[in-house]
Amino acid sequence: MKFFKKKIRESSILYQRSRGEKVLFGIVFALFFLYAASLIFPLLWLFINSLQDRTIYEVNLALGKAFEFPSALHWDNYAYAFTQLSYNDANIFMMFFNSIWYTIVYTLGGVLMSAFTGYALAKYRFKLRGFMYGVIIFTMTIPTVGTTGALFNLVYNVLHIYDSPVYVILKHLCGTGLNFLVLYGFFRNVSWSYAEAAFMDGAGHARVFFSIMLPQALPAIVTLSIVSGIAAWNDYMDVLMYLPSFPTIASGMYGVSRTLPRQGYSTVYFAALVISMLPILIIFTCFSNVIMKNFAVGGLKG
Amino acid sequence: MQAEWKDALENAVQGASPQAEENAPIQSVLSTAPEPVHPHNDLAKRKKSAMKRRETIFLICILALPVLNWLIFWLYVNLSSFVLAFQDNAGDWSLINFTLFWDQLTSPYGDTIGMAILNTLKYFAVNLLLIFPLTLVMSYFIYKRLAGYRAFRVIFFLPAIISGIVLVSVYSNMISPSGPIGAMLKAMGVKMPEGGYLLDPDTATPAILLYCVWTGFTTNMIIISSAMSRIPVEVLESARLDGCSAFKELIFLILPMIWSSVSTLVIFLLTGIFNASGPILLFHPDGGYNTMTLSFWIYQQVYGGGTYGGTGNYGLVSCAGLIFTCIGVPFILFVRHLIEKIPAVEY
């Protein structure tokens, strides 16, 4: 039945093409294919070279030999990465551990706070609502530059949370930004009738929010959580600046990128990069459909 | 009769607390109802005020943390940045930062800030004039279900999920003279700087700009194609029946219908004008080979070469930030005003 419906949709006039359009779509397909190949090939190159003998790779590099398949698969590069690689006294397992808690706090804080602000501003009319919405949009759309110095000063000299996980918690309890826009738009479109019925039955505001409204927003929340989680997992700049003693897998890879290739351990570095990518690639493979379907941003007018 | 009226009022009060748009009819019951003179009115009023109080407490509970976060990490930081611009490193009031900024901007020897501004504008121009329009066109073809569109949509999103460190590492290796692309270009007779494109002051920034284009079609493409998928199919179908071409369909039908999403993304893009940059830290941690950008210059001033606790030089950065914010805010507000004047099609 689903297949049949799909066939009907595909036969819509929207997807029927004239001869000229067929040529255009053919050219675009070729360009898309080349671009897709340009994204896939380097990753394959990385994986293949992560299995190369490290001496052969360095010799090839010196000889200007661009690429050579490994004659034997050197999984020992991975073993070395797991056992010997370290940055700021953290081995790769510690980096993973740091990445995991950093990602959870970063994601949970940002998405939950945005759900709070998005829900409150979309569904309640209170005195400061217009002002708060205006402030959020204003702060998102004016180009403030150079506040890094003041932020560093705040974290280091005022709050004394430099190089502390407390920094991650406080910084990411943030209810503004893209997360807010998506959830605000979502809650605006959610029907209020279930909530009304629940209020009639004596439910409180918190119960309505957590038991009725939040579950309805789950697709948007899951999407934002995955996108935020990916950003957190790959964030190296913030960790380098504010959490030097807690290297994550991203900041750790930045650290070893300065040393390993110069010491002739490029293949181990490649193996470490592959290891660092794997968790996020697996998560993306599982949830790519969710991300593609639920990412919607509306206008800025409240 | 009285009991019915009381029920209606109580229902209205309970429903009206969170005043969503959908509650309009209930609210009108409340507002048009005559003032009752019966003592039961007190009960209703008490219930209403208790409901209002619970609503206020709930709102305070859920908004307290994000508001506090904004007050500390946005308001305080921005006010503090303003103050720091007028203080020297010892904390005394001074205009030394403005003098230093001007010296660095005009010095014939230290062209760091000047180059940073120029490079930043290059990144911004590429983002606005190349990456964004290309994203729009690519989203259109994805939306039009080009063969293999599902796979393309996932593959094109890869740069958003793979760490910048991985991408920079493979890109640097690919285009180096001994990398596959570098070797191919050499074989084709393309003239290449001896150390490769990234190690030459004339080609390093263009090479990083190319990297930005290569990795630039990610989240925006998902947002735009998602906005396109919400357009009523009937509108496009009737346009097709009238012989509308692909170009006209995109420019005159689809773009106006997704304008609210597109304008939001354009405004965000404009807001990032002075933060536009490639991952300079990953390519050249010292900003060498003429690759300096404003955001990287700011990072370097605050963080230095990796000193624990940073450099302590906050004043010059804050001063530069103040100057660029003063230039940027009127520009952005004006452009935003213009963008918002273009009406979005309601459907």
* Per-residue pLDDT tens digits of chain A, which is 302 residues long: 555 555 555 566 777 778 888 899 999 999 999 999 999 999 999 999 999 999 999 888 888 777 788 888 999 999 999 999 999 899 999 999 999 999 999 999 999 999 999 999 999 999 999 999 999 998 888 888 889 999 999 999 999 999 999 999 999 999 998 899 989 999 998 999 989 999 999 899 999 999 999 999 988 898 889 889 989 999 999 999 999 999 999 999 999 998 999 899 999 999 999 999 999 889 888 888 877 776 655 555 54
Q: How many domains are there within chain B?
A: 2
B37 min Cα distance to partner chain A (Å): 25
**Residue spans of beta strands (DSSP E) within chain A:** 86-87, 90-91
The upper half-sphere exposure of residue B261, i.e. CA atoms within 13 Å in the direction of its Cβ, equals 25
**Amino acid identity for residue B71 in this structure:** L
B126 & B178 share domain: yes
Question: Percent of chain B, pLDDT > 70?
Answer: 87
Which is more confident, B75 or A283? B75
A282 min Cα distance to partner chain B (Å): 11
Query: For residue A112, what are its two tokens?
Result: 């939950």
A277 min Cα distance to partner chain B (Å): 6
Mean pLDDT lowest among A96-105, B105-114, B292-301: B105-114
Going by C-alpha positions, the residue among A275, A274, A269 that lies closest to residue A255 is A269
B35 min Cα distance to partner chain A (Å): 23
Q: Which helix (H) or strand (E) holds A27?
A: helix A19-49
CB contact under 8 A, B81 and A15: no
Return residues 226-265 of A near B (CB < 8 Å): 227, 230, 233-234, 236-237, 240-241, 244, 250, 253-254, 257-258
Name the residue facing A13 among B152, B241, B308 (closest C-beta).
B241
Task: Give the Cα separation of B210 and A267 in Å (integer).
Answer: 26
Mean pLDDT of B104-129: 87
B226 & B257 share domain: yes
* CA–centroid distance for B339 within its chain: 16
B38: containing domain? 2-15+22-85
Going by C-alpha positions, the residue among B133, B216, B265, B230 that lies closest to residue A294 is B230
CB contact under 8 A, B66 and A273: no
Give B-chain residues touching A179 at CB under 8 angstroms: none
Provide the 3-class DSSP secondary structure of residue A240: helix
Task: Give the Cα separation of B65 and B88 in Å (integer).
Answer: 33
The complex's ipTM works out to 0.88
Task: Give the Cα separation of B194 and B197 in Å (integer).
Answer: 8
Task: Give the Cα separation of B235 and B254 in Å (integer).
Answer: 10
B259 & B199 share domain: yes
Q: Chain B residue closest to A122 (CA)?
A: B20
Confidence (pLDDT) at A17? 79
Question: Residue B106 domain-assigned?
Answer: yes
Best residue of A50, A148, A155 to probe chain B, by most B CBs closer than 10 Å: A148
Q: What are the φ/ψ torsions at residue B93 (nearest 5 degrees)?
A: -65, 130
CB contact under 8 A, A299 and B78: no
* A8 reaches B (C-beta below 8 A): no
Name the residue facing B14 among A14, A65, A200 (closest C-beta).
A200
Going by C-alpha positions, the residue among B256, B252, B261, B249 that lies closest to residue B225 is B261
B108 min Cα distance to partner chain A (Å): 24
* A27 reaches B (C-beta below 8 A): no
Confidence (pLDDT) at A294? 66
Query: For residue B73, what are its two tokens?
Result: 């990490």
Query: For residue A191, what are its two tokens?
Result: 């029907």
Task: Give the Cα separation of A251 and A276 in Å (integer).
Answer: 11
CB contact under 8 A, A276 and B69: no
Whether the per-residue pLDDT at B22 is higher than 50: the answer is: no
Q: What are the φ/ψ torsions at residue B197 (nearest 5 degrees)?
A: -65, -35
B80 & B103 share domain: no
Confidence (pLDDT) at A301? 53
B277 & B178 share domain: yes
Which is more confident, B340 or B10? B340
B117 & B264 share domain: yes
Contacts of A268 (CB under 8 A, 6+ apart): A54, A77, A80, A81, A84, A85, A260
Confidence (pLDDT) at B20? 43
B60 & B187 share domain: no
Return residues 258-277 of B near A (CB < 8 Å): 260-261, 263-265, 267-268, 270-275
Q: What is the 3-state secondary structure (H, E, C) of B69-124?
A: HHHHHHHHHHHHHHHHHCECCCCCECCHHHHHHHHHHHCCCCCHHHHHHHHHHHHH
CB contact under 8 A, B165 and A253: yes
B197 & B262 share domain: yes
Question: Residue B90 domain-assigned?
Answer: no
CB contact under 8 A, B274 and A119: no
The packing angle between helices A266-294 and A92-123, to 10°, is 20
Name the residue facing B70 among A176, A257, A270 (closest C-beta).
A176
* B52 reaches A (C-beta below 8 A): no
Contacts of A215 (CB under 8 A, 6+ apart): none
CB contact under 8 A, B72 and A148: no
Q: Chain B residue closest to A23 (CA)?
A: B146
Q: What is the CATH number of domain A86-294?
A: 1.10.3720.10
**Amino acid identity for residue A134 in this structure:** G
CB contact under 8 A, B318 and A170: no
B209 & B273 share domain: yes
Under 8 Å between Cβ of A297 and A140: no
* Cβ-based burial of A137 (10 A; exposed 0-12, middle 13-18, buried ≥19): buried
Which DSSP state fits A242? H
Query: For residue B62, what are its two tokens?
Result: 């859920």
Question: Residue B93 domain-assigned?
Answer: no
Provide the 3-class DSSP secondary structure of residue B40: helix
Mean pLDDT of B111-134: 92
Question: Residue B153 domain-assigned?
Answer: yes
Q: Where are the alpha helices (DSSP H) in chain B?
A: 2-16, 24-32, 40-70, 77-85, 96-106, 112-125, 132-143, 149-156, 158-161, 164-175, 180-187, 204-214, 219-229, 233-241, 246-248, 255-257, 259-271, 280-283, 294-303, 315-341
Give B-chain residues touching A12 at CB under 8 angstroms: 233, 237
* A286 reaches B (C-beta below 8 A): no
Give B-chain residues touching A21 at CB under 8 angstroms: 245-246
CB contact under 8 A, A143 and B317: no
Task: Give the Cα separation of A281 and A267 in Å (integer).
Answer: 20
Q: Where are the domains of chain A?
A: 17-83, 86-294
Return residues 103-162 of B near A (CB < 8 Å): 138, 141, 144-148, 151-162
Name the residue facing A276 among B22, B163, B308 (closest C-beta).
B163
* A291 reaches B (C-beta below 8 A): yes
Confidence (pLDDT) at A298? 56
Whether the per-residue pLDDT at B17 is higher than 60: the answer is: no
What are the pLDDT digits (tens) for B219-246?
A: 888 889 888 888 888 888 888 888 888 8
CB contact under 8 A, B261 and A143: no
Examine the fold and report which residue of B35, B60, B85 is the final residue of a domain before the chain moves on: B85
Going by C-alpha positions, the residue among B12, B134, B205, B142 that lies closest to residue A200 is B12
B72 & B149 share domain: no
Query: For residue B67, what are its two tokens?
Result: 């508001």
Look up the CATH number of the domain holding residue B323: 1.10.3720.10
C-beta atoms surrounding A31 within 10 Å: 12
Contacts of B223 (CB under 8 A, 6+ apart): A295, A296, A297, B261, B265
Task: Give the Cα separation of A35 and A31 in Å (integer).
Answer: 6
* Cβ-based burial of A203 (10 A; exposed 0-12, middle 13-18, buried ≥19): middle
B136 min Cα distance to partner chain A (Å): 14
Mean pLDDT lowest among A284-293, B45-54, B273-282: A284-293
Task: Give the Cα separation of B235 and B241 in Å (integer).
Answer: 10
